[in-house]
Structure 1
Amino acid sequence: MDARTSAQDVMRCDLCEIEVVQMHCDTCLVNLCKACVGEHFSADLSKPHKIVHFKDKKSTLIHPRCTSHDEETCEMFCTQCDVPICTICLASDQHLGHKLARVLEIRDKKRDNLVKKQTELKEKIYPNYQDNASDVQNRMSQLEKGYGDLSTAITKHGEHWHREIDKLVKKLKAEVDEMKNTQLQTLQKHLDKINKTMSDIEEEIKSVDSVLESTDISSLFSLSSTLDEYRKLPKKITVSIPKFIPKKLQADQLFSLKTISLKSDEHDDSMKTTQKSPEAGSSPPVKQLLDEPETVTTIDTGYGELYNVACLSDEEIWTSGNDNTMKLYSINQGSLLKSITTKSGNKPSDIAVTKSGDLVYAADRTVNIVKNEKIEEVIRLQKWIPQGVCSTSSGDLLVIMLSVDEKQTKVVRYSGSTEKQTIQFDDKRKPLYSSGPYYRYITENRNLDICVSDSEARAVVVVNQAGKLRFRYSGYTFTPKNKPFYPRGITTDSQSHILTSDYYNECVHIIDQDGQFLRKIDCGLREPQELCTDTNDNLFVVQYGKRQVMKIKVVWDTKRNFSYMGHYQNMHTFVPVSI
Structure 2
Amino acid sequence: MATTSDEQAAGQHYLVCGIQDCQRNGQFYCNDCHQPMCEQCKDKHRKSPNNKNHDIVFYRQRKHRLSIEKCKLHPTKNVDIFCRECNTPLCLKCFLGKEHKGHEFDDLEEIYAEKYALWQGEFSKIQKYFLPKSEDLKTDIKEDVKEIKKIMESIRTSMKAEAESLKNLVDEVTSEKIKHTHTMEKSLLQMLKSQETTYNDYIKYLGKMSEKFQEYLSTTNQKLLSSKILKLKTIPETSKPVPPVFTPGQFNRDDVAKLLGILNIPNTEPEKRKIQPMEAFSTPMKFTENQSIQSKEKSDMKQTLSLSSSVTKVREYSVPGVNNAFHVSADKSGRLWVSDWSNLVQTYLQGNLLLKIQTSGGSDGYHTATQDGGLIYTDKDEKKIYRITPDRKITEFIKTGDWKPISIHSSRINGDILVGMKKDGRAKVTRYSKAGKEIQNIQRDNQGQELYIYPHYITENINGDICTSDFCKEVVVVRNKSGQHRFSYAGQGSWFRPYGICIDVLGHILVCDNVSDTVHLLDQDGRFLSIILSKQQGIEFPRGVCVDDENNLYVGQQFTNTVTVYKYLQ
Query: Under TM normalisation by the shorter chain, which class is it?
Result: 0.3 to 0.5
TM-score by length of structure 2 reads: 0.46
